[in-house]
Amino acid sequence: MYNSSPERINPPRRKSCDACWMAKRRCDFALPACLRCARRNLPCVYPGQQPAISQEPSSDISLLMEQVDGLSSSIYVGPQGTGNASSGAPTFSTMDPVLDGSDTELVHLISPVFHPAVRDQNNCMAILRTRSSRPVSTIIATRLQFAIDRIKEAPRTTVLENQTPWSHSQLYKDGMPRAMQEDLLSPLPPTTPLEALAHTQALILYQIMYVFDGTIHALASAESLIPALERSALYLRNFIHMPDSDSMESEGSILSTMEPVMDFWSLRVFQESARRTFMFAFYLIQVYNLLQNDRLIQCDGRLGLVSAWYSSTHLWRAQNAFDFAVAWAEKEHLLVYNVDFSQLLQHGQPGDMDSFAKMMLSTSLGIDRAKAWFYSKGAVW
């Protein structure tokens, strides 16, 4: 018996898009993107379809790869407010020969990991996607495993040691802000720089627990938390001083005696924690994107954000103003500006790198190359 005409022309039942299916949310099946994905700036991919891939970054990547000698730094993002991106990143040609070599996908990894996304016309965070031939498992094993292991430890070290690689152990010595005491749902926004920092750090801890919980419900919570984490980090940016080489020289002249350095101690603890937290917030978001196979998020630099932090184990581990003053006077403190590790690798020593520096360096160079640099300096990773 033949099917009736209406039965023959009925289309097959359309399935939810991947994002709605993962989050266990209702999908309205709209094309080219469902309402939920459109509102959240998510890639809306229905079963049997491939996501649209931006081809814009490819030419920039090829150009940048021609400008580096084997190893690459990330795409330089102009000073705050300029909104101009430059591919004229410093080269690593003068680095130790032990690190020479080529990795054709280095730029693909560094750019998404270290730079926040760009803004769309609705003032929301947006992203440009490229694809890699390398599976996620390979990227994790070769670049991210060390960092992920440290990230997973953060909730425990926060409770037991009151510190993480991006939060100094003396940051909350005078009391824990309300945001770190399960008061994230308070309708009152942070009113002080310390509260703004605590709010971002609390969201980071929640995001870490969601991302590495492994359940579908936790991953859905991680996805929904990303916009709040982005907003909190960008608000925190208002209280951060991003140093450069000129400000380092001025600080060096001002802090040439013990007393000014000791007075500078409290501000330094906050500023360095804030700088690292700001950078790590976007780093964590990109780790989540990578784990979700939404990999290689490419920043075009239009947001105009910069990052800067000091790599110095001795400064970071100082527990009081006197120890900090001694470390400042006697030990090296190198600035990592816009993820440019060239000065650190040329003039630094393995002892200058704390956990945060090792996380960022191993992500940038790859774990084996970072270990090779340590070995070339007579140290063990």
- CATH number of domain containing 38: 4.10.240.10
Domain-located, residue 324:
yes
- The pLDDT of residue 251 is 55
Instruction: Give yes or no: residues 27 and 142 share one domain.
Output: no
Domain-located, residue 67:
no
Spatial distance between the Cα atoms of 194 and 178, rounded to a whole number of angstroms? 10
Instruction: Give yes or no: residues 232 and 339 share one domain.
Output: yes
Domain-located, residue 200:
yes
Domain-located, residue 352:
yes
Confidence band of 162 (pLDDT split at 50, 70, 90): very high
Instruction: Give yes or no: residues 185 and 307 share one domain.
Output: yes
pLDDT higher at 186 or 324: 324
Instruction: Give yes or no: residues 33 and 181 share one domain.
Output: no
Domain-located, residue 219:
yes
Domain-located, residue 192:
yes
Instruction: Give yes or no: residues 42 and 142 share one domain.
Output: no
Helix (H, G, I), strand (E, B) or coil at 65: helix
248: containing domain = 136-377
Give the model confidence (pLDDT) of 71-100 as tens digits: 333 322 233 333 333 333 333 333 332 333
Spatial distance between the Cα atoms of 292 and 289, rounded to a whole number of angstroms? 5
Instruction: Specify the number of domains making up the chain.
Output: 2
pLDDT higher at 7 or 353: 353
Instruction: Give yes or no: residues 370 and 227 share one domain.
Output: yes
Domain-located, residue 370:
yes
Domain-located, residue 263:
yes
Instruction: Give yes or no: residues 178 and 287 share one domain.
Output: yes
User: 148-164: b or e for each residue (b if 16 or more CB lie within 10 Å)?
Assistant: bebbebbeebbeeebbb
Q: Residue 128 above 70 pLDDT?
A: no
Give the model confidence (pLDDT) of 231-273 as tens digits: 999 999 999 998 876 555 445 544 556 667 767 888 999 999 9
- Indicate the helix (H) or strand (E) that contains 154: helix 145-161
Instruction: Give yes or no: residues 40 and 148 share one domain.
Output: no
Give the model confidence (pLDDT) of 93-117 as tens digits: 333 323 333 343 333 344 334 444 4
